Amino acid sequence: MNAAKIIDKTILFTTCPDPTISDEELLVRVAGAGLNAADLLQVGGFYPPPNGVVSDIPGLEFSGTVVAQGSKVPTNWINRPIMGIVAGGAQAEMVKIHFSNAIEVDQTLPLVKWSAIPEAYTTAYDALFSQGEISAGDRVLITGATGGVGTAAIALAKFAGATVFGVSRTDEGLLAIERQGAMAISPSQIATSGPFDLILELVGGVNMASNLQALSLLGRIVIIGVGAGPKAEVDLRMIMAKRATVRGSTLRPRSVGEKAQIAQRIQSHILPAIKDGTFGPLISAVYPASKAALAYSDFSKSKVGKLILDFSI
């Protein structure tokens, strides 16, 4: 198969062996694969995959068609269109996934574009609902609000009945946030724009002092991204005084069973809203998979929405 392979901290589109599936896995011919900040970190050598996961092919989310399945998969998945999240290896013509983590999709979107959903919406959903315990009427702040996870988080927070603020450093980003129906602010305005009941931190330590200033009494901060740096200096007295909750979350190292539970929630709570047009992925660009190196270069720049590799052409 062909794949976007990591060689000397760069991406090269080249041939690799096909994955071998276990008794409980599906083999999928990939239509599309989304790019995420974790992929960029992995290419740079900063975010290795868990043990047992292919280490030189990045990619955490995909869409495609099942072409083979293991002997212990309980139902027939052959020829069914699916999307899913994996711990690595999605940016290739073939990928494997445990059957319990697969989510069947329909023709609401072209199959390639379903690849913009799994990681972004699963990460945002888990952070907002499972970790952040969002409620209708909450004031919610989302930093890094113009990327794939950020735009998904805006859509889901609005869907939950929250008043949503998004943060961006650029005029283009601020306009994109407003177009999604959220209030747009710059990083310098965070501290004075509260109080916020829930803050989704996608950027990293640089925002933490401002986040705590803007947080409401009993407010929650959920950290799901550290692209701008993992370290922060904060005044612990502020956490104490506000009785704040600060949590971190990442999907990649979770067990098959944990990911299966999240997949079921996405299928029950999110897919119906995508299918009826309530919201959907904001896609910035789709690249032929052979142009993976260009996609990575563009991903490192400011963008709005998801970048996708198209393996169907």
What is the number of structural domains in the chain?
2
Spell out the residues 6+ positions from residue 184 whose beta carbon is closer than 8 angstroms to its own: 145, 165, 166, 167, 168, 173, 174, 175, 177, 178
Same domain, 271 and 193: no
Residue finishing a domain among 248, 277, 296: 248
Q: Are residues 237 and 263 in the same domain?
A: no
The percentage of residues in the chain with a pLDDT greater than 70, rounded to a whole number, is 100
Domain boundary among 200, 219, 248: 248
Give start and end residues of each alpha helix (H) in 180-299. Answer: 208-214, 236-242, 256-265, 271-275, 292-299
Question: Tens digit of pLDDT for each residue in 116-152?
Answer: 999 999 999 999 999 999 999 999 999 999 999 999 9
Q: What is the CATH number of the domain that holds 110?
A: 3.90.180.10
Domain that includes residue 59, residue range: 2-117+252-310
85 lies in the same domain as 131: no
Task: Return the structure tokens found at 311.
Answer: 């393996």
Domain co-membership, 292 together with 235: no
Q: Which of 229, 248, 267 is the last residue of a domain?
A: 248
Residue 300 has pLDDT above 90, yes or no: no
Q: Do residues 256 and 214 both lie within one domain?
A: no
Residues 128 and 112 in one domain: no
**Residues 110 and 183 occupy one common structural domain:** no
Q: Are residues 105 and 130 in the same domain?
A: no
Residue (of 312, 310, 297) closest to 116 by Cα position:
310
pLDDT at 56: 97
Same domain, 138 and 193: yes
Q: Which of 46-50, 126-130, 286-290 has the lowest mean pLDDT?
A: 46-50
> Based on the domain organization, do 105 and 137 belong to the same domain?
no
CB count in 10 Å sphere of residue 278: 12
